[in-house]
Amino acid sequence: DAMVIQNPRYQVTQFGKPVTLSCSQTLNHNVMYWYQQKSSQAPKLLFHYYDKDFNNEADTPDNFQSRRPNTSFCFLDIRSPGLGDAAMYLCATSQRAGGTGELFFGEGSRLTVL
Amino acid sequence: GEDVEQSLFLSVREGDSSVINCTYTDSSSTYLYWYKQEPGAGLQLLTYIFSNMDMKQDQRLTVLLNKKDKHLSLRIADTQTGDSAIYFCAEMDTDKLIFGTGTRLQVFP
């Protein structure tokens, strides 16, 4: 059974039209991450939540926002998508404090910007 | 910032061994990881190694860690066509996983 579920798997939007990607988890992990992965590149961390504490990476554009209304759900909002925002967006979870620090990834949401 | 480097491509014949190499920069990483990504999919953890170990074997996978040189390798024995994918090494930096550039493994019959 999938433990980190991302919706939608594929999203097509127009230049400048806002998009929201969602992620849900059944693992009850306290950390949730959003990564951006462009074609043939490594995943790049945008931000992460440790419980409700939001941690933004210094080079994440202001165009990207996130919400975590409860432990299970996390959203990625792209306010005004540009052509350069076309990518795979990966959600992941982990349990801080103890364990191996393994991240559990969803299958990703592929964003196309027209 | 941290930099995790890998060679971009590796091509091997089915049945041979594959060795994927990685160099990292953060010597304080407690764990180092290998993830596999198949086309259009998320990342799947293959294996990890604790930083005070120098080798870990898990079925067809062998991880070697040289802390002095900050070098990590993944050996896949008896490589199969289903092993064709992109392999990422990664180090943990205070809750953040920093990925290498990825190595695309192609297995041919």
Mean pLDDT (chain B, rounded): 90
The predicted model gives B57-84 an average pLDDT of: 94
Q: Which residue is associated with the tokens 């596999």?
A: B36
pLDDT value for B12: 97
CA distance B31 to chain A (A): 7
Return the closest-CA partner of residue B47 out of B71, B29, B74, B27: B74
Q: Does residue B94 register a pLDDT over 80?
A: no
The predicted model gives B7-17 an average pLDDT of: 95
Q: Does residue B95 register a pLDDT over 90?
A: no
pLDDT value for A98: 57
Q: State the Cα–Cα distance between residues A55 and A47, nearest whole angstrom.
A: 6
Q: Given pLDDT bands bounded at 50, 70 and 90, which one contains residue B36?
A: very high
Q: Which residue has the higher pLDDT, B1 or B8?
A: B8
Cross-chain residue pair B31–A100, CB shorter than 8 Å: yes
User: Three-class SS of residue B52?
Assistant: coil
Q: Given pLDDT bands bounded at 50, 70 and 90, which one contains residue A99?
A: low
Q: Does residue B91 register a pLDDT over 80?
A: yes
Q: Which residue is associated with the tokens 């959003």?
A: A34
Phi then psi for A31, rounded to 5 degrees? -115, 135
Q: Is A45 on the interface with B (CB under 8 A)?
A: yes
Q: Does residue B27 register a pLDDT over 80?
A: no
What residues of B are in the A interface, CB distance below 8 Å?
A: 4, 30-31, 33, 40-45, 48, 50, 88, 92, 95-102
In sequence order, what DSSP letters do the residues of chain A get, joined into one string? --SEEEE-SEEEE-TT--EEEEEEESS--SEEEEEEE-TTS--EEEEEEETTEEEE-TT--TTEEEE-SSSSEEEEEESS--GGG-EEEEEEEE--SSS----EE---EEEEE-
pLDDT value for A101: 75
Q: Does residue A25 register a pLDDT over 90?
A: yes
Q: State the Cα–Cα distance between residues B104 and B80, nearest whole angstrom.
A: 14
